[in-house]
Amino acid sequence: MSGWHPSTMRSVALLAYAGVFACLKIWVFTGSSLIDTCIFMAVLASIFFATTDNVAPWASRTVLAAILLFVLPVVGLANTFYLDVTTQVAIYAVLALGLNIVVGLAGLLDLGFIAFFALGAYLWAILGSTQASMFLPGSFPLPAEAFFLVLPIGVGVAALAGILLGLPVLRLRGDYLAIVTLGFGEMVRILANNLDKPVNITNGPQGIAGIAQPLNGLAIALATDAVPEYKWQALIYYFFVLCLIGCAILVNRRLDASRIGRAWVAIREDEIAAQAMGIPLVATKLIAFATGAAMAGGVGVLFAAKQTYVSPESFDFNQSIAVLAMIVLGGLGSIRGAVLGAAAVTLLNLQVLKVLSAWLNTMRADGVEFLGFSFANLPAQFEPSKYERLIFGIILIIMMLYRPQGLVPAKRKNIGIDVDSSTGKPGNQA
Amino acid sequence: MLTDMLLLLPTTLIDGLVLGLIYASIALGYTMVYGVLGLINFAHSEVFMVGAIVAIEVLIYGLAGTGLHPLIQLVVAIAVGGLAAGFLAVAIERVAYRPLRVRNAPRLVPLITTIGVSLFLQDSVRFVESLFGQFIRPFPSFPFFNRQIVLSETVFISNRTLAIIVLAVTLLAGLYYMVHRTRLGKAMRAVALDQKTSQLMGINVNKVIATTFFIGGVAGGVAGVLYALQFGRMDPFSGFIPGIKAFTAAVLGGIGSVEGAVLGGVLLGILEVVLGTYIPMWTNNAIGTEYKDIIAFSILILILIFRPNGLVGRAYAEKV
């Protein structure tokens, strides 16, 4: 053993870790209690470990393929809860990767990012349900397979919206962008909330239900007694979103390593110096803004199909902040960080806070006493699941004050010139 | 319909003026901090909210039953709420922003921190208020403030409106005097122009910045009390939208200037109320009052396109 290369040792350890937890998850901890969820998170963590630099490529590929293509589908078909959680995490991860380009790489603070997501979601929600027949001629809903046509359209529409919004604002100093995007996010939400009259476009606060699901025919064909249709449908969405997140990571990586990516980082670090080096400021910023928006729009289309229901509530300011908190937590400009942050914040929101709320509620109902404090006296309005702003606020403040580079700092490649990249801090060399 | 609209005009303008003066008072906090630090202080809207909530608590728990004249009660509540807001603003600056300034962090970092502080305060206040019942706090009602002064057959003005206008104008005049006529104001303007040089001239920059936060916070807190008095309630999340609009007002007038904030605030308030009243009338409620926020944000975007330095602002050259 001692003669092995350290990287081989780590690879073997990774394989063992992933294998053990995958087996535990598949055969032992199949339910959805707290301990089952923890084991599930341990399985997800193996994806994270597999993408570190210091394991051999063969081990990392084996683990990724096994977990993503085999373990998660198997676990998910047995208990769709996990498939839903994973898909949700992945949807937010794509959003985080989109925002990562805008905020992380180009340093443009976008506080209304969820608006582009809403554009994509409402596009498919309107076309893929009977809603469109309220104001458009023709027969709706569109056939479910039109989804594959609407997906690129959604990407285009969001990118266009990004360009139209960015064009006037990106000429100005960066701070204005924050407040304008915030206003834009609110505008889109208000429009979604109120465009049920004079013409019913968005169905107002009730939202749009009954949205067509793509490839539903396949799910029906595959359905058996043991594995009913809805499980196959969940699996189809899982693979869909896997493709999307793959694309998002690829786009992030290629752009990051390209001339444009370096121009973004240069602008982020020092706008004036970048301009002096001949970088066209507005065009370069616009590309970042539009690319991020496009990714959000695309995943929005998928979100509408997966939920089969959209309402303005899913696109409020909290959601924009949630995505920002994800990349700030993971590390601005860092791809692994964005995905990790998305997983952490989504799981916190979906799982931890809800479990905590339920637990406090039972304590309150049972009137448990702890150190002289009776839980029956706990105010009825106190529900941890409603305090997401507190959590986001704490994440943002603590990270910015004590670890601005995030949990998984972005690495810049050092080419020839001696730059202080040892700290890996984004932009602290200003 | 035209006569209806004409009859409504005076009341609408007065309501717009009231809202505008409140926006102007909030906008001062944004504009002063932006002038000195170049930072959009997103937490300012929560300072505004805290001022209002503290004042409401003072009125409910401290002054109810004392039998003092409503105006005196209001002034005491404003003083306490304003001071609380001022100290909160200073505390925020000390805990969250100064460490970043000392470290010379990139621009994005303090900006994200201010958003974090804003969200943190919203839910913290909600938590504290929830411990004592409903977190939505109605402003205690005083019959005195509802009394109307009849100006003509169709134009009334309530004591409430009058009180808000007088108090807000006093506040704004006081701040204008302070910024333009006192040593402290001169120090603030110097720090806004060039921090390093003002330090060399013997100005205690940290102290001036803290004072700026304090004064902006007091103005925001007072504005919060007036806002709660006008709209009859305040809750932990109600500071946010007026905050954004006040920032819009500051940009509209020209960020960094006190006169600009007042001009922008009054203009935005009147535009919002007038358009918010008349557009639903013109369109038979097809476009309802819900769109008044959209009006404000559209104004912001238009101003940034056509006159990014605001109505009275000067263009600043970026310092290298």
Residue A178 lies in a domain: yes
| A300-354 tens-digit pLDDT | 999 999 999 999 999 989 899 999 999 999 999 999 999 999 999 998 887 777 7
**CATH number assigned to the domain comprising residue A256:** 1.10.3470
Q: In b/e form, how buried is each residue of A266-289, taking b as 16+ CB within 10 angstroms?
A: bbbbbbeebeeeebeeeebbbbbb
Task: Convert the pLDDT of each residue in B18-33 to its tens digit.
Answer: 999 999 999 999 999 9
A429 assigned to some structural domain: no
For residue B315, what pLDDT band results from cuts at 50, 70 and 90? low
The mean per-residue pLDDT over the stretch A366-390 comes to 73
- Within an 8 Å CB–CB cutoff, is residue B280 touching chain A? no
Chain B residues 30-89 within an 8 A CB cutoff of chain A: 38-40
CA–CA min distance B154, chain A (Å): 32
Which chain A residue's Cα is nearest to B115?
A: A393
Report the CATH number at residue B299: 1.10.3470
Instruction: Name the token pair of A393.
Output: 């606020």
pLDDT in the model for residue A25: 86
pLDDT of residue A369: 72
CB-nearest partner of A430 from B38, B106, B248 = B106
Residue written as token pair 């997906």: A151
- Residue B71 forms part of a structural domain: yes
Q: Give the nearest partner residue to A190 out of B107, B290, B305, using CB atoms.
A: B290
Res B66 pLDDT > 90: no
Q: Identify whether A218 is part of a domain.
A: yes
Residue range B169-183: average pLDDT?
93
* pLDDT range class, residue A420, cuts 50, 70, 90: low
Q: What is the pLDDT of residue A10?
A: 86
Domain boundaries, position B185: 2-306
Taking the Cβ of residue B305 and every Cβ of chain A, the question of whether any pair is shorter than 8 Å is answered with yes
| CB-CB contact of B5 with B281 (8 Å) | yes
Give the minimum alpha-carbon distance from A128 to chain B in angstroms, rounded to a whole number. 26
Angstroms from B51 CA to nearest CA on chain A: 20
Separation CA B266–CA B94 (nearest Å): 32
Confidence of residue A426 (pLDDT cuts 50, 70, 90): low
Q: Is the pLDDT of residue A99 over 90?
A: yes
Indicate the pLDDT class of residue A428, thresholds 50, 70 and 90. very low
Tell me what the mean pLDDT of segment A150-177 comes to. 89
Facing A178 at nearest CB: one of B40, B113, B305 = B40
**Average pLDDT along chain A:** 87
Cis upstream peptide for B138 (omega within 30°): no
- For residue A57, the distance in angstroms to the closest alpha carbon of chain B comes to 35
Closest residue to A178, CB basis, from B111, B122, B301: B111
Q: Which of A160-164, A350-354, B214-218, B234-238 has the lowest mean pLDDT?
A: A350-354
Looking at the partner chain, which of B104, B106, B123 has a beta carbon nearest the beta carbon of A389? Answer: B123
Q: Is B98 on the interface with A (CB under 8 A)?
A: no
Q: By mean pLDDT, which of A8-12, A288-292, A416-420, B139-143 is the weakest?
A: A416-420
pLDDT > 70: what percent of chain A? 92
Amino acid letter, A132: A
B319 belongs to a structural domain: no
Asked if A427's CB is within 8 angstroms of B108's CB, the reply is yes
Kindly state whether B106 is in contact with chain A, defined as any CB-CB distance less than 8 angstroms: yes
> Where residue A151 falls among pLDDT bands split at 50, 70, 90?
very high
Give B115's contacts in chain A (Cβ within 8 Å): 111, 321, 324, 393, 396
Note whether A401 contacts B99, CB cutoff 8 Å.
yes
pLDDT per position as a tens digit, B156-167: 889 999 999 999
Q: A404 and B109 in contact by Cβ < 8 A?
A: yes
**Percent of chain B scoring above 70 in pLDDT:** 97
Q: Which residues are CB-contacts of A261 (< 8 A; sequence separation ≥ 6)?
A: A105, A255
Instruction: State how many domains chain A has.
Output: 2
| Residue A13 shares a structural domain with residue A52 | yes
Query: Taking CB atoms and an 8 Å cutoff, what residues of chain B touch A190?
Result: 290-291, 293-294
Does residue B237 sit within a domain?
Answer: yes
Task: Mark yes or no for CB contact A396/B304 under 8 Å.
Answer: no
Q: For residues B259 and B39, what is the distance between their CA atoms, to the nearest angstrom?
A: 19
At A430 the pLDDT is 39
Give the distance from residue A34's alpha carbon to the nearest chain B alpha carbon, in angstroms: 27
CB < 8 Å to B38, chain A: 175
* Mean pLDDT of the region A116-127: 95
B-chain CB neighbours of A393 within 8 Å are 115-123
**pLDDT top residue among A34 and B244:** B244
Q: Within a domain: residue A423?
A: no
Least Cα separation, residue B185 to chain A (angstroms): 25
Same domain, A173 and A87: yes
Is the separation of the CB atoms in A234 and A68 below 8 Å?
no
Distance from CA of B166 to the nearest CA of A (A): 31
pLDDT of residue B313: 67
Domain-embedded: residue A15: yes
Lowest average pLDDT, out of A149-163, A365-379, B92-106, B167-181, goes to A365-379
Q: SS3 string of chain A?
A: CCCCCHHHHHHHHHHHHHHHHHHHHHHHCCCCCHHHHHHHHHHHHHHHHHCCCCCCHHHHHHHHHHHHHHHHHHHHHHCHHHHHHHHHHHHHHHHHHHHHHHHHHCCCCCCCCHHHHHHHHHHHHHHCCHHHHHCCCCCCCCCHHHHHHHHHHHHHHHHHHHHHHHHHHCCCCHHHHHHHHHHHHHHHHHHHHHCCCCCCCCCHHHCEECCCCCCHHHHHHHCCCCCCHHHHHHHHHHHHHHHHHHHHHHHHHHHHCCHHHHHHHHHHHCHHHHHHCCCCHHHHHHHHHHHHHHHHHHHHHHHHHHHCEECHHHHCHHHHHHHHHHHHHHCCCCHHHHHHHHHHHHHHHHHHHHHHHHHHHHHHHHCCEECCEEHHHCCCCCCHHHCHHHHHHHHHHHHHHHCCCCCCCCCCCCCCCCCCCCCCCCCCCC
Tokens 């007088």 sit on residue: B166
Nearest to A390, CA basis, from B219, B120, B26: B120
Q: Give me the residues of B, 138-197, that contact A with CB < 8 A.
A: none
Higher pLDDT, A76 or A296: A296
A60 and A102 share one domain: no
- Partner residue opposite B112 with nearest CB, options A174, A180, A400: A400
Among residues A41, A62, A78, the one where a domain terminates is: A78
Q: What is the count of structural domains for chain B? A: 1
pLDDT > 70? residue A247: yes
Query: Are residues A70 and A94 located together in one domain of the fold?
Result: no
How many CB pairs below 8 A link A and B?
146
Say whether B112 and A175 touch across the interface (CB within 8 A): no
Cβ of residue A186 closer than 8 Å to a chain B Cβ: yes
The answer to whether the Cβ–Cβ distance between B119 and A107 falls below 8 Å is no
Last residue within a domain, chosen from A60, A78, A96: A78
Q: Are residues A118 and A179 in the same domain?
A: yes
A327 vs B contacts (CB less than 8 Å): none
pLDDT of residue A312: 93
User: Is B106's CB within 8 Å of A427's CB?
Assistant: yes
B87: closest CA of chain A, how far (Å) = 19
* Shared domain check, A112 and A67: no
Chain B: closest CA distance from residue A111 (Å): 10
Query: Do A54 and A138 belong to one domain?
Result: no
Question: Are residues A258 and A139 located together in one domain of the fold?
Answer: yes
Instruction: Answer whether residue A409 is part of any domain.
Output: no
**How confident is the model over A226-233, as a mean pLDDT?**
86
CB within 8 Å of B82: residues ≥ 6 apart: B51, B218, B219, B221, B222, B225
Q: What is the pLDDT of residues A187-225, one digit of tens each?
A: 999 999 988 877 888 888 999 998 988 888 888 888 888
Chain A residues in contact with B283 by the CB 8 A cut-off are 198
Chain B residues near residue A175 by CB distance under 8 angstroms: 38-40, 107, 111
> What pTM did the predictor assign?
0.90
CB atoms B115 and A321 under 8 Å: yes
Average pLDDT over residues A380-401: 85
Q: What pLDDT was estimated at residue A329?
A: 94
- Cα–Cα distance between B188 and B208 in angstroms, integer? 6
Contact between B25 and B220 under an 8 Å Cβ cutoff? The reply is yes
A27 and A118 housed in the same domain: no
Which of B41, B46, B112 to mutate against chain A (most A CBs within 10 Å)?
B112
The answer to whether residues A131 and A59 belong to one domain is no
Point out the least confidently predicted range of A32-41, A379-388, B48-57: A379-388
Is 60 exceeded by the pLDDT of residue B319? no
Domain match, A258 and A294 both? yes
Domain-located, residue A355:
yes
What pLDDT was estimated at residue A429? Answer: 42
Instruction: For residues A146 and A272, state if they share a domain.
Output: yes
More confident residue, B316 or A274: A274
The predicted-structure confidence for B246-302, as pLDDT tens digits, reads as follows 998 998 888 888 889 999 999 999 999 998 888 888 887 777 777 888 888 888 888
Q: Which domain holds residue A12?
A: 1-78
Chain-wide mean pLDDT for chain B? 89
Cβ A50 vs Cβ A64: under 8 Å? yes
Is residue A64 in some structural domain?
yes
The model's confidence at residue A36, banded by pLDDT at 50, 70 and 90, is: confident
Q: What is the rounded radius of gyration, in angstroms, for the C-alpha atoms of chain A?
A: 23
- At CA B318, angle to CA B112 and CA B220, rounded to 5? 45
How close, in Å, is residue A97 to chain B by CA atoms?
18
